[in-house]
Amino acid sequence: MKCVLNINDTQRLGLCLVISAPSGAGKSTLVGRLLKKFPHFAYSISCTTRAPRGDEEDGVHYHFLSREEFIKRREAGFFAEWAEVHGNLYGTPKAPVEENLASGRDVLFEIDVQGALQVKRVFPQGLFVFILPPSVRELERRLRGRGTDSDEAITRRLGNALGELRQAGSFDYLIVNDDLVEAADELCAVYLAGRTRTENRPGLLDALLAQWGL
């Protein structure tokens, strides 16, 4: 009996989904809704030069490195993206991301604009989404509504937001987070559309044509 290949069994390449936004635009809330609906995303354990906090374990929460080792790895092209925050270096190892994508697992990056643009240079085939506030006034209202930042910090965050917005044109998709439900639906739609791209199913057409003996 001839064995007929089920085309749904063909290997799908993983998708690299990168999401950025100015502080206060609601990125974390939208990502939370995405993960609640699609909890299967893979994560890469980041490296950092800061000391462990509390019960943090090396290789579980972070890979804790000396500054010298981090810089050595950075110069060797070890990281997909890296940044210095408050005097500490942070970076995402490139190899685990590549391994997850090759095995068909989707990888989510929730990072700032500079990190996203670094990832785009390494994984240009990814989907890059920028979350926009509906207005500057609304962004300021949300920042003040947190009740966690001083006026000086809010002014600084708004200034940073302007710089980030100027780079939003480098992203593939722009989602305005005015209505939370609508914005979450749009983010899910972008992700689902990305999963069906031709380049993510390299064996699909061949498997189907093989059923005609082609």
pLDDT value for 85: 79
Q: Is 132 helix (H, G, I), strand (E, B) or coil?
A: strand
pLDDT value for 3: 47
Q: How do 127-132 and 173-176 pair as beta strands?
A: parallel
pLDDT value for 2: 45
Segment among 26-40, 103-117, 136-150 with least mean pLDDT: 136-150
Q: Which residues pair with 33 in a beta bridge?
A: none
Cα–Cα distance list, 27 to 10, 18, 91, 150, 210 (Å)? 33, 11, 20, 21, 44
From first CA to last CA, the distance across the chain in angstroms is: 19
At position 21, the amino acid (one-letter code) is: A
Question: Mean pLDDT for the chain?
Answer: 89
Task: Pull the structure tokens for residue 75.
Answer: 């110069």
Indicate the pLDDT class of residue 189, thresholds 50, 70 and 90: very high
- Rounded-to-integer distance, Cα 205 and Cα 10, Å: 10
Hey, where are the domains in the chain? Answer: 1-41+106-214, 43-105
Per-residue model confidence as pLDDT tens digits over 11-22: 789 999 999 999
pTM of the model: 0.84
- Length in residues, the chain: 214
At position 67, the amino acid (one-letter code) is: R
Per-residue model confidence as pLDDT tens digits over 48-79: 999 998 988 998 889 999 999 999 999 999 99
For domain 43-105, give the fold.
Guanylate Kinase phosphate binding domain (3.30.63)
Q: How many CA atoms lie within 13 A of 130 on its CB side?
A: 22
On whether the CB atoms of residues 143 and 159 are closer than 8 A, the answer is no
- Rounded-to-integer distance, Cα 78 and Cα 74, Å: 6
Write down the CATH number for the domain with range 1-41+106-214: 3.40.50.300
CATH fold match for the domains 1-41+106-214 and 43-105: no
- How far is residue 143 CA from its own chain's centroid? 23
pLDDT value for 151: 82
Per-residue model confidence as pLDDT tens digits over 95-108: 999 999 999 999 99
